[in-house]
Amino acid sequence: MKAIVSVFAKDARGITAYVTSLLAERDINILDISQTLMQEYFAMIMLVDLEACPLPFHELAKELQDKGAERALDIHIQRSDIFEAMHRI
Amino acid sequence: MSYLMNSSEIIQTIRMIDQQHLDVRTVTMGVNLLDCADGDIVRCGEKIYEKLCRVAEHLVPVCTEIEQEYGIPIVNKRLSVTPISLVAASCASDDYALLAKAMDRAAKAVGVDFIGGFSALCQKGMTVSDLRLIRAIPQALTETDLVCSSVNVGSTKAGINMDAVQQMGLTIRKTAELGSMGCAKLVVFCNAVEDNPFMAGAFHGVGEPECVINVGVSGPGVVAHALKECRGEKFDTVAETVKRTAFKITRMGQLVAQEASHRLNVPFGVVDLSLAPTPAVGDSVAEILELMGLERCGTHGTTAALALLNDAVKKGGVMASGHVGGLSGAFIPVSEDAGMIRAAEEGVLTIDKLEAMTCVCSVGLDMIAVPGDTSADTLSAIIADEAAIGMINNKTTAVRLIPAAGKSVGDRVDFGGLLGSAPVMPLHSGSAAEFVARGGRIPAPLHSLRN
């Protein structure tokens, strides 16, 4: 299953490293990545493959959210179909 | 980013959900109960309970799964059933409240938020069973928590059944006397639709399949946000913006509907693309109308603004879904919309203006608190007016009024949760008793003869 991981936070050092290692520890493969700064806010969007991830989706979502909260990051994970459905005919 | 998506679109979607209250308002499973008919009403109730528990067992867990995977809130999970007046017609008893209790127990067992279908369709006349059901409504709504009731009293094809209109005035009165919450779960329709997923008016029509999934999307907050970007622009731009936004909202509803249908192995019925407000700030239809340039919802210009909104929502949504149905448009419930509440409290939004607005919105007079001493005749007359608008304009209209016990104009009534709160609105004082007492039928309009 492919999913979109999105990370929003105030810009700080090491956010990308922290989030990508969270994903690697859970056997999640990053297929594509983009990041931007909007004023002082950091926004990172990743397309990931969950094929090898052993966790059920809802547990994974909860873990990422909790781990994100420890560093004041807002981390979401959602199946990618929702974005395609909404923005593509 | 991948060739399929770009990050600004992804951020836009996430913001719609996080900050603009975008949600799927309801996934409603319609279930046929005609096969639960039984001469023994107790047995009929058992069959209803057993069937609903069996058929809807997975509805809530599947919706929760979808919510988690897509990160999109599904606010309500609901059931709608065949109008009980049909299911119970062969019962030897008139204690239909017993069947409402069976529905209530089943709804609680499967974990849904509401169950609709304690209903009768009597636009042309009332069967013995319709009358039994209508008489059981006050008790049924008072002694259950999740059951919703609706009665169709008119249609463009059949005219208005004024005997049923009179009965419903009395029924609303009696229900209010037993506790005002009951009236929030009771709606009187003209041109009721068979696949509406929204409460209190959802029921599973007889033309529907055995079981079906209908999805109601929402998103007034998203439309309001989009309109903030086009202040001062011409109406052409406003309409276009609403259409584009409605398209996106509906696509999401379509996706959820397909997933739910696939995972439950139940056919997909329709997406109902209604803008359904909630009392939360920023989730208001009134706010959208005000963003078009009105100082307050209810002032002159409101009907035109609502007409544009209602039509643009349909146009945007219709291409986004394989099957659009239900009520589809903009709802204008007073108590469930922070902007409407404010406008009503300030006296700008009146019952007469609301009636005019129902000519162009998707339903009717909805969640309006009226003085506790409002007579049954006045309630019936309001229903008749609203049914006439529906009948002549070939649209669904509805009345959901709450006579607030012991309260008078200006007092506030709290319903709690999604139902919100409302100021008691003034009604006209002239009596309609003689008018309502006539009974009989108002004939169908000329344009009902279309063959």
Q: Which position has the higher pLDDT, B211 or B20?
A: B211
- Residue range A46-88, pLDDT digits in tens: 999 999 999 999 999 999 999 999 999 999 999 988 888 888 7
With contacts defined as CB-CB under 8 Å, which chain B residues touch A39? Answer: none
- Residue range B50-108, pLDDT digits in tens: 999 999 999 999 999 999 999 999 999 999 999 999 999 999 999 999 999 999 999 99
Tokens of B69: 């995977």
CB contact under 8 A, B14 and A76: yes
For residues B21 and B9, the answer to whether their CB atoms sit within 8 Å is no
CATH 3.40.630.30 assigned to domain A2-76? The reply is no
| Neighbour-count burial of B240, counting CB atoms closer than 10 A to its CB (0-12 exposed, 13-18 middle, 19+ buried) | middle
Calculated CA dihedral for residues B223, B248, B365, B149, nearest 10 degrees: -140
Distance from CA of A67 to the nearest CA of B (A): 17
- Return d(Cα B30, Cα B203) in angstroms, integer: 7
Residues pairing with B187 in the sheet: B150
Q: Where are the domains of chain B?
A: 23-190
User: Is B409 in the A-facing interface, judged by CB distances under 8 Å?
Assistant: no
Where b means 16+ CB within 10 Å and e means fewer, B117-140 reads: bbbbbbbbebeebbbbbbbbbbbb
Contacts of B219 (CB under 8 A, 6+ apart): B16, B20, B21, B22, B23, B245, B249, B275
Cis bond before residue B200 (omega within 30° of 0): yes
User: Is B128 in the A-facing interface, judged by CB distances under 8 Å?
Assistant: no
Cα A36 to chain centroid distance, Å, stands at 14
Per-residue confidence (pLDDT) for residue A41, from 0 to 100:
83
| Neighbour-count burial of A67, counting CB atoms closer than 10 A to its CB (0-12 exposed, 13-18 middle, 19+ buried) | middle
- Return d(Cα B198, Cα B332) in angstroms, integer: 13
Q: In the 3-class helix/strand/coil scheme, how is B184-245 assigned residue by residue?
A: HHEEEEECCCCCCCCCCCCCCCCCCCCEEEEEEECCHHHHHHHHHCCCCCCHHHHHHHHHHH
B47 φ/ψ angles, rounded to the nearest 5 degrees: -65, -40
| Closest to B283 in 3D by CA, of B331, B325, B344 | B331
With contacts defined as CB-CB under 8 Å, which chain B residues touch A84? Answer: 4-5
- Return d(Cα B164, Cα B439) in angstroms, integer: 8
Distance from CA of A45 to the nearest CA of B (A): 7
Instruction: Tell which CATH classification among 3.40.1160.10, 3.20.70.20, 3.40.50.450, 3.40.50.1820 matches the domain B23-190.
Output: 3.20.70.20
The DSSP secondary-structure symbol of B325 reads -
With contacts defined as CB-CB under 8 Å, which chain B residues touch A89? Answer: 319
**How many CB atoms within 10 Å of residue A17?**
9
Question: What is the complex's ipTM, to 2 decimals?
Answer: 0.84
pLDDT band at B5 (very low <50, low <70, confident <90, very high): low
User: Is B1 in the A-facing interface, judged by CB distances under 8 Å?
Assistant: yes
Distance from CA of B305 to the nearest CA of A (A): 26
- Residue range B17-50, pLDDT digits in tens: 888 888 999 999 999 999 999 999 999 999 999 9
Nearest to A86 among B1, B68, B248 (CB): B248
Cα A71 to chain centroid distance, Å, stands at 14
Per-residue confidence (pLDDT) for residue B281, from 0 to 100:
85
Tokens of A10: 């105030």
A3 φ/ψ angles, rounded to the nearest 5 degrees: -145, 165
The DSSP secondary-structure symbol of B431 reads -
With contacts defined as CB-CB under 8 Å, which chain B residues touch A88? Answer: 4
Name which of B52-56, B282-286, B374-378 the model is least confident about: B282-286
Distance from CA of A9 to the nearest CA of B (A): 13
- Return d(Cα B204, Cα B215) in angstroms, integer: 13
Closest-CA residue of A relative to B320 is: A89
Q: Where are the domains of chain A?
A: 2-76
Residue type for B6, please?
N
Global pTM value: 0.92
| Closest to B194 in 3D by CA, of B85, B116, B113, B274 | B116
- Please give the share of chain B, as a percent, with pLDDT higher than 90: 86
Closest-CA residue of A relative to B3 is: A32
Q: What is chain B's percent helix, strand, coil content, to nearest 5?
A: 45, 20, 35
Contacts of B382 (CB under 8 A, 6+ apart): B351, B365, B399, B401, B427
Mean pLDDT score, B274-288: 91
